[in-house]
Amino acid sequence: MATDVWSVLAETQRLPWSFTPFERVGPLEFGMTHAQVQAATRGALCVAVSEGTSGNEGWAEFWLEQRTDARFSGPAVTTYYDESVGLAGVAVNALRGPQVALEGMRLVGQTPSRLEDEIADYLAAHSRELRYSQCADPCSPELGLVLRAQRAGDAVLTRPVMVAKAWADRCWDTSEGHIPTREWKTFEW
């Protein structure tokens, strides 16, 4: 079976992860080394299929482990590292990444406008501020969360980026924040 880069996992096929702001995303704890991230994802995600560095920062893409359905081959999670912080950012692929929940709110692969309303209500109920990036992505520095959009064929779905406390201050800022330019340019699979 050929790979279809636009295939989207059903909710029941996604790994269930939770997000605790500034602490963890699923089995990944902010501050981990790359080797610790690889160990924590072993069995659920492949070790990094591709990785690189830019200045003091590094990144790695993890793919789903041994999928029997080739339609879902491709990156599931991208991790970002900072020399002084360790694991500082986690971006979850909208098409094939784990389903990450924040207090029951599903963050991955959702309709952006519907999730934006849900996150706005959540933040208002907790007396927190909603901000927007220069790319119009809703975000909350108080949670270390940016709700990006990712193409899924002719539609777009949510691709959350969760960051460590050290990166949260300007997480909405595409030019002066810590989230690497590489992430801001990710729109396709």
Mean pLDDT of 42-67: 64
Range of lowest pLDDT (63-72, 139-148, 154-163): 63-72
Greater confidence (187 vs 55) lies with: 187
Distance (Å) of CA 81 to CA 20, 31, 37, 61, 89? 18, 8, 11, 12, 7
Residue 57: per-residue pLDDT = 66
pLDDT band at 41 (very low <50, low <70, confident <90, very high): confident
Across 152-174, average pLDDT: 94
Over residues 57-67, mean pLDDT: 68
Mapped onto helix, strand or coil, the DSSP state of residue 60 is: strand
- Mean residue pLDDT of the chain comes to 86
pLDDT digits (tens, 9 = 90+) for 113-131: 999 999 999 999 999 999 9
C-alpha 73/C-alpha 167 separation (Å) is 30
C-alpha distances out from residue 29 to 20, 41, 48, 120, Å: 9, 11, 17, 26
Sorting pLDDT into bands at 50, 70 and 90, what band is 189?
A: very low
CB 159 within 8 A of CB 149: yes
Give residue 73's pLDDT.
62
* Stated pTM of the model: 0.89
Q: How confident is the model at residue 168 (pLDDT cuts 50, 70, 90)?
A: very high
Pairwise pLDDT comparison (108 vs 55), residue with the higher score = 108
